[in-house]
Amino acid sequence: MASYLTGSEAFAREKLPSDSVPAALPTKWADKYRGATVEDLDPPPALSVSPDDPVSAALMAAYERDYSHLTVISATKRSLLGYLNIPRLKDLLHSGAVQETAPVSSAMQRFNRKRGIYHVITMETPLEELEEFFESETGPNGDQRDKQQFAVVTDVARKFVLGVATKADLEEFVKRRPA
């Protein structure tokens, strides 16, 4: 496979003495993703539930499609309110903190809209940026946060939820991509 240099890499190579030119000067992510975007992950369409739906219905829908996260949207405005983490939901059910007949709103994790700064992930987002989103412990405004396990993929205007990309999806993409 051919390896291409960026303009700055080519310029740096020209300035090096000829006996010290390395075989290639790839960036950290160039060999790993090679320009791939979230669209290349081929994320399945998002499965959204309403906050009023029973937990049992959301759990069944997630099992049927083998999803680990469901987005929760407003039934009236169709706006994104939060998400339902299925492994966490199983723990809540097992501990008795939530009942299967309870509404999804009792178990969902809400997005903090007061912060107002979101890292928008679209189908055109480069995979290296997605990996940085998963690995970073700081949010877009510099606040400390936990590492993320999934990203909600939206359109640029954040009007439509197109899918959910997980850290596991990214790892699987790297494994199946030829070297």
Q: Cβ(123)–Cβ(148) under 8 Å? A: no
pLDDT value of position 77: 81
Residues 6+ apart with CB under 8 A from 46: 71, 152, 153, 161, 162, 163, 164
d(C-alpha 108, C-alpha 171), whole Å: 26
pLDDT tens digits, one per residue of 29-59: 556 788 899 999 988 888 899 999 999 999 9
Average the pLDDT over 65-69 and give the result.
Answer: 88
Average the pLDDT over 88-97 and give the result.
Answer: 94
As a whole-number percent, the residues of the chain with pLDDT over 90 amount to 34
Residue 89 pLDDT > 70, yes or no? yes
- Domain extent listing, the chain: 38-176
As a whole-number percent, the residues of the chain with pLDDT over 70 amount to 77
d(C-alpha 119, C-alpha 139), whole Å: 8
> pTM score > 0.75 for this model?
no
d(C-alpha 141, C-alpha 116), whole Å: 9
Encoded tokens for 7: 């303009």
Average the pLDDT over 83-92 and give the result.
Answer: 93
DSSP 8-state class, residue 37: B
The residues facing 69 across adjacent strands are 85
AA identity, residue 152? V
pLDDT value of position 135: 87
Question: Of residues 70 and 20, which shows the higher confidence score?
Answer: 70
Q: Give the model's confidence band at 127: pLDDT under 50 very low, under 70 low, under 90 confident, else very high.
A: very high
pLDDT value of position 149: 83
Encoded tokens for 73: 């949207």
End-to-end CA distance of the chain: 9
Q: Does the domain spanning 38-176 belong to CATH 3.10.580.10?
A: yes
Residue 99 pLDDT > 90, yes or no? yes
pLDDT value of position 26: 42
Residue 114 pLDDT > 80, yes or no? no
